[in-house]
Structure 1
Amino acid sequence: MEKKRIETFEDLKVWQKCIDLVKVIYLITKEGEFSRDFGLRDQLRRASVSIPTNIAEGFERYSRKEYLNFLNIAKGSAGEVRSLLRVALEVSYLEQQTYVQLSSQAMELSRMLSNQIQAINQSPK
C-alpha cells in the first residue's frame, strides 16, 4: 500500500485524531454539571484545542526547529488534557469509562507526537 504524501497539516493522522478528541471533549463538556463549571470546562476545551492548533501552526512554519517546538507544545497540551480529565473524574463530571476512553486517546496522541518528534530529530537535516 502506497503512503499518501503529506502536503498539509490536515493530511497528518495525528492532527485528524486530535480533531476527533476535541469534538468529543466539546460534546461532553456541554452537558450537565460540567457545562456549568466554566473554569474547568474552558480550560479542558482550550487545552484540547491547543493540540491540533499547535501541530498546524508548527507545520506551517518554514523551519524544522520551529515545527519541533510546536510539536513539543502540542505534546504538553496532551498531558494537560489528561490531567484535567482526571480532575473531571475526581469531581464526578465524568464516568470512569468515559475518563478511560478520553485519557487513552490523549495518551495515544502523546505517543504519536513523541514518535513524530523522534523521527524529525533522527532524520538528516
Structure 2
Amino acid sequence: MSFETLHVWKKACNLSCELYQHFANCRDLGFKDQITRSGLSIPSNIAEGFERGSVKEKRKFLFYARGSAAELRTQILIGCQVGFVEPSLAEKWSAELFYIKKMINTLIQQCGD
C-alpha cells in the first residue's frame, strides 16, 4: 500500500497546507516555524513509516506522527490563547487532529505488537 492512498495522510497534508496559509503573514516567526513544522511532521512521518522496510520501523514512525499531532494540538490551543488562532478555527483544527489521531491509532493497531 502506498502512503499517497491513505486517507489519514491526505487529511494531514490538507491540515498542514491550511496551517501554512493561515500563518503566512504571522510576525512571530518562532511560533510560525514551530506550528508549521509540527503540522508538516504528521504526514511526513506517516510517509516515512510506510516507506521503511519493516513493520517495527513503520510503527515507530506512526508513533512519531501521533506525537506530532499532540504537539500541534498544544500549539493550536496556545495560539488560540494568545490570539493567533480564532477560537472557531482552533476548534475545527482540534477536531481534525482528533480524527487524524484515531486513524493513526488504527494503523498502529494493524501493525501489531
TM-score (norm 2): 0.96
Cα RMSD of the aligned pairs, angstroms, is 1.0
Q: Does 1:15 align with 2:6?
A: no
Structure 1 counterpart of 2:66: 75
Equivalent of 1:97 in 75, 84, 88: 88
List gaps (5 residues or longer) in structure 1: 1-6
The offset of 1:8, in angstroms, is: 1.2
Counterpart of 1:113 (choices 78, 93, 104) is: 104
SS in 1 for 2:88: helix
How far apart, in 1, do the equivalents of 2:29 and 2:95 lie? Answer: 24
1:61 to 37, 47, 52: 52
Match of 1:86 among 77, 84, 98: 77
How far apart, CA to CA, are the structure 2 residues paired with 1:27 and 1:103? 17
Distance in 1 (alpha carbons) for counterparts of 2:2 and 2:35: 26
Partners of 1:23 and 1:40 in 2: CA distance = 16
User: Which ranges in structure 2 are unaligned for 5 or more consecutive residues?
Assistant: none
Corresponding residue to 1:28 among 13, 18, 22: 22
Matched letter for residue 12 of structure 2: C
Take 1:62 and 1:74, find their aligned partners in 2: how far apart are those partners? 17
- Counterparts of 1:44 and 1:75 in 2: how far apart (Å)? 15
Measured against aligned partners, the alpha-carbon deviations of 1:18-67 in whole angstroms (never above 9, x if no partner) come to 11100111111114xxx101111100000000000001111001100000
Alignment TM-score, normalising by the size of structure 1: 0.87
C-alpha separation in 1, matches of 2:46 and 2:87: 29
Measured after TM superposition, the shift of residue 90 of structure 1 is: 0.4
Counterpart residue identity of residue 87, structure 2: Q
CA–CA distance in structure 2, aligned partners of residues 115 and 8 of structure 1? 16
**Aligned positions, number:** 113
